[in-house]
Amino acid sequence: MASTGIHRVCVFCASSPGSDPAVTEATAALGRLLAERNIELVYGGGAVGLMGLIADTVMEAGGSVIGVIPEGLFSDEVGHQGLTRLETVASMHARKARMYDLADAFIALPGGFGTLEELAETLTWNQIGLLAKPVGVLDVGGFWQPLLSLFDDMVDRAILKSTNRSLVFDDPDPARLLDQLASWERSHDPKWIGEDLT
Protein backbone atom coordinates (compact mmCIF):
# COMPACT_ATOMS: atom_id res chain seq x y z
CA MET A 1 0.00 0.00 0.00
CA ALA A 2 1.40 3.38 -1.01
CA SER A 3 0.83 6.65 0.77
CA THR A 4 -1.74 8.94 -0.76
CA GLY A 5 -0.41 11.92 -2.70
CA ILE A 6 -2.74 14.88 -2.29
CA HIS A 7 -2.80 17.50 -5.03
CA ARG A 8 -6.48 18.44 -4.83
CA VAL A 9 -8.80 18.49 -1.83
CA CYS A 10 -12.57 18.69 -2.16
CA VAL A 11 -14.07 20.72 0.67
CA PHE A 12 -17.74 20.28 1.58
CA CYS A 13 -19.12 23.39 3.26
CA ALA A 14 -22.20 25.52 3.73
CA SER A 15 -23.57 28.19 1.42
CA SER A 16 -24.44 30.15 4.57
CA PRO A 17 -21.84 31.81 6.81
CA GLY A 18 -23.15 30.43 10.10
CA SER A 19 -22.87 32.31 13.39
CA ASP A 20 -19.72 30.82 14.91
CA PRO A 21 -16.59 32.97 14.41
CA ALA A 22 -14.43 29.94 15.17
CA VAL A 23 -15.84 28.20 12.08
CA THR A 24 -15.16 31.29 9.98
CA GLU A 25 -11.60 31.43 11.27
CA ALA A 26 -10.98 27.72 10.68
CA THR A 27 -12.41 27.94 7.14
CA ALA A 28 -10.04 30.77 6.26
CA ALA A 29 -7.12 28.97 7.93
CA LEU A 30 -7.78 25.86 5.83
CA GLY A 31 -7.93 27.99 2.68
CA ARG A 32 -4.59 29.63 3.42
CA LEU A 33 -3.04 26.27 4.23
CA LEU A 34 -4.19 24.73 0.95
CA ALA A 35 -2.57 27.59 -0.94
CA GLU A 36 0.64 27.33 1.09
CA ARG A 37 0.90 23.61 0.39
CA ASN A 38 0.05 24.03 -3.31
CA ILE A 39 -3.05 21.89 -2.92
CA GLU A 40 -5.82 22.86 -5.30
CA LEU A 41 -9.28 23.41 -3.83
CA VAL A 42 -12.28 21.64 -5.37
CA TYR A 43 -15.66 22.76 -4.06
CA GLY A 44 -19.28 23.43 -4.99
CA GLY A 45 -18.66 26.65 -6.91
CA GLY A 46 -20.67 29.12 -4.81
CA ALA A 47 -19.62 32.67 -3.99
CA VAL A 48 -21.59 32.97 -0.74
CA GLY A 49 -21.29 31.68 2.81
CA LEU A 50 -18.43 29.43 3.85
CA MET A 51 -18.17 28.26 0.24
CA GLY A 52 -17.32 31.76 -0.91
CA LEU A 53 -15.01 32.35 2.04
CA ILE A 54 -12.78 29.35 1.44
CA ALA A 55 -12.61 29.97 -2.31
CA ASP A 56 -11.76 33.65 -1.81
CA THR A 57 -9.13 32.81 0.81
CA VAL A 58 -7.38 30.27 -1.43
CA MET A 59 -7.40 32.66 -4.40
CA GLU A 60 -6.17 35.61 -2.32
CA ALA A 61 -3.32 33.46 -0.99
CA GLY A 62 -2.23 32.63 -4.54
CA GLY A 63 -3.78 29.18 -4.74
CA SER A 64 -5.92 27.49 -7.35
CA VAL A 65 -9.65 26.74 -7.14
CA ILE A 66 -11.99 24.60 -9.23
CA GLY A 67 -15.70 25.13 -8.63
CA VAL A 68 -18.37 22.72 -9.83
CA ILE A 69 -21.96 23.99 -9.88
CA PRO A 70 -25.22 22.67 -11.32
CA GLU A 71 -27.06 24.84 -13.86
CA GLY A 72 -30.19 25.03 -11.74
CA LEU A 73 -28.34 26.35 -8.67
CA PHE A 74 -26.30 28.96 -10.50
CA SER A 75 -28.57 31.87 -9.58
CA ASP A 76 -29.43 30.54 -6.11
CA GLU A 77 -25.87 29.92 -4.93
CA VAL A 78 -24.38 32.72 -7.03
CA GLY A 79 -21.67 30.95 -9.00
CA HIS A 80 -18.24 32.34 -8.20
CA GLN A 81 -16.81 34.21 -11.17
CA GLY A 82 -13.32 34.74 -9.74
CA LEU A 83 -12.07 31.16 -9.66
CA THR A 84 -9.28 29.47 -11.55
CA ARG A 85 -12.00 27.40 -13.21
CA LEU A 86 -15.78 27.16 -12.80
CA GLU A 87 -17.44 24.10 -14.31
CA THR A 88 -21.20 23.99 -14.89
CA VAL A 89 -22.84 20.56 -14.83
CA ALA A 90 -26.38 19.33 -15.45
CA SER A 91 -27.41 18.16 -11.97
CA MET A 92 -26.52 17.76 -8.31
CA HIS A 93 -25.58 14.15 -9.00
CA ALA A 94 -23.24 15.23 -11.79
CA ARG A 95 -21.74 17.86 -9.51
CA LYS A 96 -20.85 15.33 -6.82
CA ALA A 97 -19.51 12.79 -9.31
CA ARG A 98 -17.29 15.44 -10.88
CA MET A 99 -15.97 16.67 -7.53
CA TYR A 100 -15.27 13.10 -6.41
CA ASP A 101 -13.40 12.45 -9.63
CA LEU A 102 -11.28 15.61 -9.40
CA ALA A 103 -10.25 15.31 -5.76
CA ASP A 104 -7.58 13.22 -4.04
CA ALA A 105 -9.12 13.71 -0.59
CA PHE A 106 -12.19 15.20 1.10
CA ILE A 107 -12.75 17.51 4.06
CA ALA A 108 -16.13 18.40 5.53
CA LEU A 109 -16.42 21.68 7.37
CA PRO A 110 -19.31 22.31 9.75
CA GLY A 111 -22.39 22.48 7.55
CA GLY A 112 -25.99 21.46 7.03
CA PHE A 113 -27.85 18.73 5.18
CA GLY A 114 -25.87 19.12 1.95
CA THR A 115 -22.51 18.85 3.71
CA LEU A 116 -23.72 15.87 5.73
CA GLU A 117 -25.02 14.12 2.61
CA GLU A 118 -21.74 14.60 0.73
CA LEU A 119 -19.74 13.37 3.71
CA ALA A 120 -21.91 10.27 4.09
CA GLU A 121 -21.71 9.48 0.40
CA THR A 122 -17.91 9.67 0.20
CA LEU A 123 -17.65 7.41 3.25
CA THR A 124 -20.15 4.97 1.75
CA TRP A 125 -18.35 4.92 -1.59
CA ASN A 126 -15.05 4.23 0.19
CA GLN A 127 -16.72 1.50 2.23
CA ILE A 128 -18.01 -0.38 -0.83
CA GLY A 129 -14.94 0.25 -2.96
CA LEU A 130 -16.21 2.89 -5.40
CA LEU A 131 -13.68 5.35 -3.99
CA ALA A 132 -10.26 4.90 -2.47
CA LYS A 133 -9.62 8.40 -1.16
CA PRO A 134 -9.26 9.70 2.43
CA VAL A 135 -12.09 11.59 4.12
CA GLY A 136 -11.91 13.88 7.14
CA VAL A 137 -13.99 16.33 9.15
CA LEU A 138 -12.67 19.61 10.51
CA ASP A 139 -14.10 19.30 14.00
CA VAL A 140 -14.28 22.96 14.99
CA GLY A 141 -15.63 23.37 18.51
CA GLY A 142 -16.66 19.73 18.63
CA PHE A 143 -19.23 20.26 15.85
CA TRP A 144 -18.85 16.72 14.51
CA GLN A 145 -18.65 14.93 17.88
CA PRO A 146 -22.33 13.87 17.99
CA LEU A 147 -22.00 12.26 14.56
CA LEU A 148 -18.68 10.61 15.43
CA SER A 149 -20.25 9.26 18.63
CA LEU A 150 -23.09 7.86 16.54
CA PHE A 151 -20.53 6.08 14.34
CA ASP A 152 -18.98 4.58 17.48
CA ASP A 153 -22.41 3.41 18.61
CA MET A 154 -22.93 1.78 15.21
CA VAL A 155 -19.72 -0.20 15.81
CA ASP A 156 -20.85 -1.16 19.32
CA ARG A 157 -24.13 -2.44 17.87
CA ALA A 158 -22.31 -4.46 15.16
CA ILE A 159 -23.90 -2.41 12.38
CA LEU A 160 -20.63 -0.83 11.23
CA LYS A 161 -17.22 -2.51 11.12
CA SER A 162 -14.53 -0.79 13.15
CA THR A 163 -12.27 -0.82 10.09
CA ASN A 164 -14.91 1.14 8.19
CA ARG A 165 -15.45 3.48 11.14
CA SER A 166 -11.79 4.36 10.75
CA LEU A 167 -12.44 5.68 7.23
CA VAL A 168 -13.24 9.12 8.65
CA PHE A 169 -10.49 11.24 10.16
CA ASP A 170 -11.25 14.09 12.52
CA ASP A 171 -9.25 16.96 13.94
CA PRO A 172 -10.00 20.57 14.88
CA ASP A 173 -6.69 21.73 13.39
CA PRO A 174 -6.53 22.08 9.57
CA ALA A 175 -2.81 21.31 9.35
CA ARG A 176 -3.04 18.13 11.41
CA LEU A 177 -6.10 17.00 9.47
CA LEU A 178 -4.33 17.49 6.13
CA ASP A 179 -1.32 15.57 7.47
CA GLN A 180 -3.60 12.67 8.44
CA LEU A 181 -5.20 12.61 5.01
CA ALA A 182 -1.80 12.74 3.30
CA SER A 183 -0.47 9.78 5.33
CA TRP A 184 -3.56 7.61 4.79
CA GLU A 185 -3.06 4.19 3.27
CA ARG A 186 -5.91 2.32 1.64
CA SER A 187 -6.91 -0.95 3.23
CA HIS A 188 -10.30 -1.89 1.81
CA ASP A 189 -12.64 -3.94 3.93
CA PRO A 190 -15.99 -4.97 2.47
CA LYS A 191 -18.92 -3.37 4.26
CA TRP A 192 -20.73 -6.58 5.04
CA ILE A 193 -20.92 -7.59 8.68
CA GLY A 194 -19.98 -11.20 9.14
CA GLU A 195 -18.92 -13.38 12.06
CA ASP A 196 -15.71 -11.46 12.55
CA LEU A 197 -16.73 -7.99 13.75
CA THR A 198 -13.28 -6.72 14.67
- Say if residues 197 and 163 touch (Cβ distance below 8 Å): no
**Is pLDDT above 50 for 117?**
yes
**With pLDDT > 70 as the criterion, what percentage of the chain qualifies?**
89
Q: In this predicted structure, what is the pLDDT of residue 159? A: 95
Distance of CA 172 to the CA centre of its chain: 14
Lowest-pLDDT range of 78-82, 100-104, 148-152: 78-82
Contacts of 64 (CB under 8 A, 6+ apart): 40, 41, 58, 84
Domain positions in the chain are 8-142+168-181
- Say if residues 43 and 10 touch (Cβ distance below 8 Å): yes
Rg (CA), the chain: 16
Class of domain 8-142+168-181: alpha beta
User: 156-169 in b/e burial notation, b at 16+ Cβ within 10 A?
Assistant: eeeebbebbeebbb
**Is pLDDT above 90 for 177?**
yes
Confidence of residue 185 (pLDDT cuts 50, 70, 90): confident
**Is pLDDT above 50 for 97?**
yes
For the question of whether the overall pTM of this predicted structure is more than 0.85, the answer is yes
Q: What DSSP state is assigned to residue 157?
A: T
Q: In this predicted structure, what is the pLDDT of residue 198? A: 42
Per-residue model confidence as pLDDT tens digits over 8-39: 999 999 989 988 999 999 999 999 999 999 99
Q: In this predicted structure, what is the pLDDT of residue 81? A: 83
Strand order in the sheet with 8-12: 85-89, 65-70, 40-43, 8-12, 105-108, 135-138, 168-171
- Provide the 10 A C-beta neighbour count for residue 86: 18
Alpha carbon separation from 56 to 8, 27, 66 (Å, rounded) = 16, 11, 12
**Is pLDDT above 60 for 188?**
no
